[in-house]
C-alpha cells in the first residue's frame, strides 16, 4: 500500500516527552480524519510504548527515543517507537499481563496489554544491550466508513 | 490537583492528563495527605481528567497499598467509559469501588463526541 505521509522524531528519554510524543502521534493520525476515539486509542498505545522506554531502557544513563510513523493510502497508521537501551531478554514474558520488573507497586505491568487493546497489532523486537523497538499498527478508517462517506458525497 | 480533607475521608480531584510523568509528581502529595490523616477512605475523582494510560492504574493500585495498611478503602469516581475500560483491564474494580462523581459525568475524551451527537449535554 502506498505511503502518503511519514515522520520521524528523536527526543531524549525524559518523562516530560510522554505527553509530547502522544500528542504528536495524535496529530499525525488526525490527518486521516478518523473518529475521535480512534485518535485516543493511538495516543494511549503510544503513551504506553514511550513510557516503557523511559522507565526501562536507560536505567543508569541518558538516551534517546525515536518515534517514526507512516500513514498509508488505505488509512492504516504504523508507529515505531525505538530506543538503544538495555533491551528485553524475554519479550514473551515482558508482554504477559501484570508482569513487571518494578518492585515499587506503582507500575501495573499492563503496558503491553493496553497497547494490544488499543491497537490492531503490536510487534516487539529487542536485543539485550542493543535496544528495543515496538511497532504499533492502527487502522484509522474502516473500509466501510469510507464507503459511507462517499455516499454522503463528502 | 485539589485534595479535600474531611473528617474521615480524603478526596483527590485529579485533572488533565494522568501518565507516568504526572503520576510521579502527584503520588507524594497524595500520600502525604494519606499518611497524615490515615482516613477510612480515599476517593480519586477523575471528572476533570482528559487522558489516562496504565500509569493511572498504577496510581490507584499504589494508593490501595498505602491505605490498606490501616484497613482503609479506595474509591474511584468520574471515569469516562473509555477510562473504565482501561481500569478494568487491571481488575481494579476488585480493589476499588467505582462510583459516580459528585461533580457529575466526565464528558472528556471520546465521550464528548457522543455528547455532541444530539443528546444535548454540550456545555
Report d(CA A109, CA B49) in Å as an integer.
Answer: 22
Cβ atoms within 10 A of the Cβ of A141, count?
17
Contact (CB, 8 A) for A52 and A104: no
What element of type H or E holds B20? helix B20-37
For residue B41, being part of any structural domain is answered with yes
A100-152 pLDDT tens trace: 888 887 888 899 999 999 999 999 999 999 999 999 999 999 876 555 555 55
Are A48 and B54 a contacting pair at CB < 8 A? yes
Number of domain units in chain B = 1
Instruction: Please name which of A44, A45, A51 lies closest in space to residue A65, comparing C-alpha atoms.
Output: A51
What is the model's pLDDT at position B109? 62
pLDDT (0 to 100) of residue A50: 98
**What are the grid coordinates assigned to B52, written together?**
489516562
Q: Among partner residues A16, A35, A44, which is closest to B53 by beta-carbon distance?
A: A44
Q: What is the pTM of this model?
A: 0.88
Contact (CB, 8 A) for A90 and A132: no
Pick from B55, B89, B112: CB nearest A113: B89
Helix axes A111-118, B54-67, angle to 10 degrees: 140
Q: Once rounded to an integer, what is the mean pLDDT over residues B85-89?
A: 87
pLDDT at B117 over 50: no
Check residue A149 and give its pLDDT.
Answer: 52
Could you confirm whether A154 is annotated as catalytic? no
Residue A48 has pLDDT above 90, yes or no: yes
The closest of A93, A49, A94 to A69, measured between CA atoms, is A49
Q: Do residues B82 and B50 make contact, with C-beta atoms less than 8 angstroms apart?
A: no
* Confidence check: pLDDT of A24 > 80: yes
Lowest mean pLDDT among A4-18, A25-39, A110-124, B85-99: B85-99
Q: B39: which strand partners?
A: none
Q: Catalytic: A130?
A: no
Give the residue ranges of DSSP H helices in B43-101. 54-67, 81-89
pLDDT at residue A142, rounded to an integer: 82
What is the distance in angstroms between the Cα of B8 and the nearest Cα belonging to chain A?
25
Q: Cell for B63?
A: 494508593
Interface of A with B in 49-108 (CB under 8 A): 51, 54-55, 97-98, 104-108
pLDDT exceeds cutoff 90 at B91 = no
Percent above pLDDT 70 for chain A: 93
Q: What is the mean pLDDT of chain A?
A: 92
* Shortest CA gap B65–chain A (Å): 8
pLDDT at A102: 81
| pLDDT for residue A154 | 45
pLDDT over 90 percentage in chain B: 69
User: Which candidate from B21, B52, B65 shows the least CB-CB separation from A16?
Assistant: B21
What pLDDT sits at residue A145? 59
Looking up residue B67, the CATH number of its domain turns out to be 3.30.750.24
**Minimum Cα–Cα distance from A102: chain B residue:** B58
Known active-site residue A48: yes
- Given a cut of 70, whether residue A95 has pLDDT beyond it is yes
- Read off the pLDDT of each residue in B54-83 and give the average, rounded to a whole number: 95
Task: Tell me the residue range of the domain where B107 lies.
Answer: 2-116
The pLDDT score that the predictor gives to residue B115 is 39
Q: What is the pLDDT of residues B3-55, one digit of tens each?
A: 999 989 999 999 999 999 999 999 999 999 999 999 999 999 999 999 999 99
Contact of A105 with A47, CB cutoff 8 Å: no
Q: What is the pLDDT of residue B122?
A: 37
pLDDT at B110 (0 to 100): 52
Per-chain mean pLDDT for chain B: 87
Q: Give CA B86 to chain center in angstroms.
A: 12
B96, part of any domain: yes
> Has residue B48 been placed in a domain?
yes
Cell of B104: 457529575
Question: A70 versus A142: which is more confidently predicted?
Answer: A70
What's the pLDDT score for residue B123?
35
B80 belongs to a structural domain: yes
Task: Indicate whether B123 belongs to any domain.
Answer: no
Measured between CA atoms, how close is B62 to chain A, in angstroms? 5
Tell me, yes or no, whether B121 lies in a domain: no
> Is B122 part of a structural domain of the chain?
no
Residue B24 lies in a domain: yes
Amino acid at each position: 500500500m502506498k505511503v502518503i505521509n511519514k515522520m520521524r522524531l528523536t527526543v531524549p528519554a525524559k518523562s516530560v516527552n510522554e505527553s509530547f510524543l502522544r500528542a504528536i502521534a495524535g496529530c499525525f493520525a488526525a490527518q486521516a480524519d478518523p473518529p475521535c476515539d480512534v485518535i485516543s486509542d493511538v495516543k494511549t498505545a503510544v503513551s504506553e510504548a514511550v513510557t516503557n522506554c523511559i522507565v526501562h531502557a536507560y536505567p543508569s544513563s541518558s538516551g534517546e527515543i525515536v518515534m517514526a510513523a507512516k500513514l498509508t493510502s488505505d488509512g492504516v497508521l504504523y508507529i515505531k517507537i525505538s530506543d538503544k537501551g538495555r533491551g528485553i531478554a524475554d519479550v514473551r514474558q515482558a508482554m504477559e499481563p501484570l508482569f513487571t520488573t518494578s518492585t515499587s507497586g506503582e507500575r501495573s505491568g499492563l503496558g503491553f496489554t493496553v497497547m494490544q487493546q488499543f491497537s490492531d497489532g503490536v510487534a516487539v523486537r529487542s536485543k539485550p544491550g542493543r535496544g528495543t523497538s515496538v511497532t504499533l499498527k492502527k487502522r484509522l478508517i474502516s473500509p466501510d466508513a469510507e464507503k459511507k462517506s462517499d455516499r454522503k458525497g463528502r | 490537583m485539589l485534595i479535600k480533607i474531611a473528617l474521615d475521608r480524603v478526596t483527590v480531584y485529579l485533572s488533565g492528563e494522568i501518565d507516568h510523568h504526572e503520576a510521579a509528581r502527584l503520588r507524594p502529595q497524595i500520600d502525604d495527605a494519606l499518611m497524615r490523616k490515615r482516613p477510612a477512605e480515599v476517593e480519586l475523582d477523575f471528572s476533570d481528567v482528559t487522558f489516562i494510560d496504565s500509569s493511572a492504574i498504577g496510581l490507584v493500585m499504589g494508593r490501595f497499598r498505602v491505605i490498606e495498611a490501616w484497613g482503609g478503602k479506595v474509591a474511584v469516581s468520574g471515569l469516562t467509559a473509555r477510562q473504565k475500560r482501561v481500569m478494568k483491564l487491571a481488575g481494579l474494580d476488585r480493589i476499588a469501588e467505582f462510583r459516580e462523581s459528585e461533580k457529575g459525568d466526565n464528558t472528556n475524551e471520546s465521550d464528548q463526541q457522543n455528547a455532541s451527537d444530539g443528546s444535548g449535554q454540550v456545555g
